[in-house]
Amino acid sequence: MSFEVKLPLFEGPFDLLLFFIERDELDIYDIPISKITDDFLTYIHQLEEMNIEVASEFIVVAATLMRIKAKMLLPRPVVDEEGNEIDPREELVKHLLEYKKYKSVVGELMTLEEESLNKQKRGNVVREIKKLAELSNVEAELQDLDLYKLLKAFEKAIDNYIAESDQPAHTVVQFPYTIEDQKAFILNELSKKDKLSFMDIIKTNPVKLAVIYNFLAILEILQSRLAKISVGVGYNNFWLKPNIEKITS
């Protein structure tokens, strides 16, 4: 059984921050910086775990959020020249409000563009019908035919043929392994020995694909309790032992 995790992709870091604010119904003028920073960093870590490249602007905003969070934890607040306390979130809130304003404008423009594209322009119906009639008149076309047009048509046909011939071909190769076959192979080897090392299984067929199928077969064997596992120190250092109780039962 395979599990698939899907994460929503956002256009930019401010788009992600607005998503958190709207999702949790937060006050944009009084952002709980600790919570929103944790949510932002969690999203970035999930992208990194899935080997999705994180854009540089997300890293910059993450660093900014951590800096604001650190400032708000300081016992001495920052004050301006007049002695008024400066909220470390002020600049962030300003950028978020500007981004939200531009985003709403862009959304309205996209809606207008979509409505405009769905409308058909009104043309000269008589001229269009006349043009279609001329195209369907074969004799009129042959009257204007000359050697240059024939050569151009031939050249275009050759180019189309070459373009179609150069298209990449994908060959599907069936894997020479199955989990059931590798499972039977491992159980057969296990019946000959008191224990079977995973490294010994790899040595029988060190091909990367074979190692993967052997590992999946081992997982099914362990799940069926046909064997027990003993783990040693280091990587790939474990042994399989036949489960006598399961086999005899």
Residue 132 domain flag: no
Burial class (CB in 10 A: 0-12, 13-18, 19+), 43: buried
C-alpha torsion 99→104→107→113, nearest 10: -110
For the chain, the first-to-last Cα distance in angstroms comes to 27
How far apart, in whole angstroms, are the C-alpha atoms of residue 118 and residue 64? 43
Q: Is residue 137 part of a domain?
A: no
Domain that holds residue 91: 13-113
Query: Is 193 part of a structural domain of the chain?
Result: yes
Q: Residue 122: what pLDDT?
A: 59
Within 8 A by CB and 6+ apart from 99, the residues are 12, 14, 15, 18
* Domain end call among 113, 146, 164: 113
pTM over 0.75: no
Q: Are 17 and 103 members of one domain?
A: yes
Q: Which pLDDT belongs to residue 5? A: 37
Residue 108 shares a structural domain with residue 187: no
- Domain count of the chain? 2
d(CA 144, CA 26): 72
Residue 89 maps to a domain: yes
**Residue where a domain terminates, one of 86, 113, 140:** 113
Tens of pLDDT along the chain (249 residues) come to 333 334 445 567 888 888 888 888 888 888 888 888 888 888 888 877 776 676 778 888 888 888 888 877 776 666 767 767 777 888 888 888 888 888 888 778 888 777 777 765 656 666 766 676 666 555 555 556 677 777 888 888 888 888 777 777 666 667 788 889 988 998 988 888 888 888 888 888 888 888 888 889 888 888 888 888 888 777 777 888 887 665 444
pLDDT of 239: 82
Sheet holding 196-197, edge to edge: 196-197, 238-242, 227-231
Q: Is 99 a domain residue? A: yes
Calpha distance 174→143 (Å, rounded): 57
By CB atoms closer than 10 A (0-12, 13-18, 19+), residue 194 is: exposed
Largest CA distance in the chain: 93
CATH number at residue 183: 1.10.10.580
The reported pLDDT for the residue numbered 3 is 35
Q: Which of 113, 140, 159 is the last residue of a domain?
A: 113
Residues 103 and 185 in one domain: no
Q: What is the pLDDT of residue 2?
A: 37
Q: Do 109 and 186 belong together in one domain?
A: no
Q: What per-residue confidence (pLDDT) applies to 245?
A: 61
Residue 129 within any structural domain of the chain: no
